[in-house]
Amino acid sequence: MALLSPESAPATRRSDHTDTYHGSAVADPYRWLEDAGSPETQAFVDVQNKLTRRVLDAVPMRAELITRLTGLWDYARRGAVWQEGGQYFQMRNSGLQNQFVLYVMDSPTAEGRVLLDPNTLSEDGTVALGDYSVSQDTSKLAYSVSQGGSDWQEWRVRDIASGDDLPDTLHDSKFSGASWLPDASGFFYSRYDRPPEAEQLSGANFNQRLYLHRLGTQQAQDELILERPDQPEWGFSGTVSEDGAYLVVSVWKGTARENLIWVRPLAERGDFTEVVADFRASYRFVGNDGPLLYFRTDDAAPKGRLISQHLETGEVREIVPEDQDRLLKVLMVAGGFVLHTLEDASSRLTLVDRTGQNARPVTLPGLGSVGALNGHASSPQVFLSFTSFLSPAASYTLDALSGQLEIVWTPDLGVDLSAYEVRQEFAESRDGTHIPMFIVTPKNLLLDGSHPTLLYGYGGFDIPLTPSFEVSRLAWLEAGGVLVVANLRGGGEYGEDWHQAGMKDNKQNVFDDFAACARHLVERGYTSPPHLGIEGGSNGGLLVGATLTQHPELIGAAVAHVGVMDMLRFQHFTIGWAWVSDYGSSDTPEGFATLSAYSPLHNLAQRAYPATLLTTGDHDDRVVPAHSYKFAAELQHVQQGGAPVLLRVQTRAGHGAGKPTRLVIEEKADVYAFLLAALE
C-alpha cells in the first residue's frame, strides 16, 4: 500500500434528497450526479480524474506497464473467417490499430483487400464498427458505426466491389442487426425514437420497431414491419431464412432469456404465424428445410435441446435431447448440425445428422473456447476460432462430413507461454454448491499465500465465462501475479437452472459464490487477503461492489468497471429497465426488499474499506456513469481507513465495446499499477 498515495479524497456536496419506497425512506444525497451534463457534475468528474491521475501517475511501475503492454499488444490478430457466395471475410488487426479492419478475400487463406477500415472514420479512434451483414450475392455490406462508445448505431451501406459507400444512412438504431433480402435490394433492421440530446444518459429506450429499408430510398420511407405500442418493452429482431423463403422474427423483452417466434413468408404482408406465442423459454432459430424449422431451446430442458417444428402442421419433434452439458449453440450445415456444448465451462463440438443421430465428437486443440462458429446449411465447410487462457485466438476450418479440423491461421505472439499452466478447481459455496474456477499460475508455484492474485467474476444474465486469451493479462502474470476466473451462478455455464440460481431473489448466491472462491484461494495457499484483488465489469461491477460492502476483510483491493451500483434506480435509465428480468425491481415491495439488502450504494457504512478503483465512460448509455459517480462519492465519504478510493472517468468512451486500443492500454496500465501497488 505504501506505493499508493494517501491523498485525501475531495469533499463532494451532499444534498438532503430522500425517496420513499413502500413506506421506507432512503436517502440519495448524490442524486444531482445523475445529471451528467450539469456544470457541477462536470466539475466533480474533473476533480476526481485529477486525483486519480495524481495517485496512479506516481506509481513507479505504471510507465513500465505502458511500455510492456504496448509491446505485448503489438502482434497481428485475426478473427474467424466467414463466407458468403464465393467470397470470404475476416476481421484483422495488425497489432496496435485502434479498431479491427474488415477484409474480403477470394479464399480463406488469401491476403485479400481492405473492405472497411474504421480507423479512417475518426482521428482519435473512437468511432467503432458495430454490427455488419453481407448480402447473399456478396454485392453489398450493411454496417453500423457508433460514436464515443455509445450504443446508438448509424447504419451505412458499402458496395463491396468498389469499396464505396452508397448514400443510404439510417439513424436511431440500437440493439439491432441487419438481415438482407435475397436480391440485396434492402435489409431489415430495428430502431427506436431517440430521446433528446439532453436525455441521452437518462431517457429510457422503449417501443423498438422493425423496419425494411430499400436501397436508394430515404429512411423516412422505410416500411414499418412490426411495432407494438401496447407492449413498449418488446423488441424485434428480424432474420431472413437462408433459403430466402421466410422472415423469422424473435420478439424479446428486456434481457429475459424468454422470447416469442413469429414467422411469415418473406414475400407476404399481413399476419405472422406465432410459432412460439408466449414468453415461456428461450428459442433460437437455427435454420429450416422448407417449412420445417429448427430451434435451439431450453423449453422443458434447462441445459438446452434441439427441436424441429413444422410451420404448417405445428408438429414438434425433438432432434437432440437435453444432455448433461449446456447446449450453447447449434449451426446447421450440409447433412446435419454442429453442436457447441460446454462441459464445466469449456467448449466441446459434436457433429450429428439431420435426425440428431450418428454423433461424432470433434477433437479441439485443448481446454478452451470456441468463439465464432460460421457456416451455411448448404455447405459442409465450417469456420471457427479457438482460444484458451494461454493461447491467442486462432482460426480453423472444420469439414462437417469428415470431422477434420484444420488450422487456417495462427497468431505469432512472440512470447513463450510454456512457463505457465492452467488448472480448474472447485470452491464450495455457502449452500454446498461447487463453484468452478480457472486458475492461471507460473508452473511449480509455491503455495505460501504471498502471491498477488486477481479474482475476476461476472455471474449474471446467462453469460458464461469460458477460457479466453487476453494479452494484457500476461503483464499481470509476468509481474508475479496469479489470475483466477470464477464461474458463478447467474451465468450461463450450466444452463438455465444455473442462471436462475443467481438472479432476482437468488442474487445473493452470486456474491456468496465469489466469496467462497476468495476463501478457497486463501485456504489453498495461493494468496492471502492483503494480496487478493477482485475485478469485474457491468454486472461484474455490481459483483465487486457487493463483495466490497459484504466482505471487505477478504480482499486487499477492488476494481469495478462500469458497475451497476444503485440497485434501486437502475431501471429508470436508458435500457436499464431491461435488467429487471435478472434483478427484479424496487418498484415492487418484494423487489425493494431484495435489492436494498445488497445494493452496493446503499450498503456502505462508516468503516475501513480496501483500496478501490472505479472506472466508467462519460458516454456510457447502457450502465450510465451516475452509478459509478454516486458510489465513488459515498465510498469516499464513509472511508475510515487510509486506502485510496479512486474514480477514473474516460472521455468519449462508453460501456466498453469499440474502445480504441490506445485507451485500452492506458486503462489496463492504470488497473495493474493500482493492483500491484495495493497488493504488494
Q: What positions carry a catalytic annotation?
A: 538, 655
Q: What is the 3-state secondary structure (H, E, C) of 32-89?
A: HHHCCCCHHHHHHHHHHHHHHHHHHHCCCHHHHHHHHHHHHHCCCEECCCEEECCEEE
Contact by Cβ (8 Å): 326, 464:
yes
Q: What angle do CA 361, 366, 370 make, to 5 degrees?
A: 70
Q: What angle do CA 239, 241, 246 make, to 5 degrees?
A: 90
> Please, what sign has the CA dihedral across residues 95, 540, 206, 194?
negative
C-alpha 109/C-alpha 636 separation (Å) is 54
C-alpha 67/C-alpha 161 separation (Å) is 40
> Please, what sign has the CA dihedral across residues 594, 596, 597, 600?
positive
Distance separating the N- and C-terminal Cα atoms of the chain: 6
C-alpha 648/C-alpha 667 separation (Å) is 9
Contact by Cβ (8 Å): 479, 435:
no
Closest CA to 559 of 585, 540, 578: 540
C-alpha 343/C-alpha 356 separation (Å) is 19
Closest CA to 453 of 380, 382, 530: 530
Residues 6+ apart with CB under 8 A from 14: 29, 30, 637
> Please, what sign has the CA dihedral across residues 32, 35, 38, 41?
positive
Cell numbers for 16: 438532503
Residues 6+ apart with CB under 8 A from 461: 255, 490, 491, 492, 499, 539, 579, 582
C-alpha 295/C-alpha 318 separation (Å) is 10
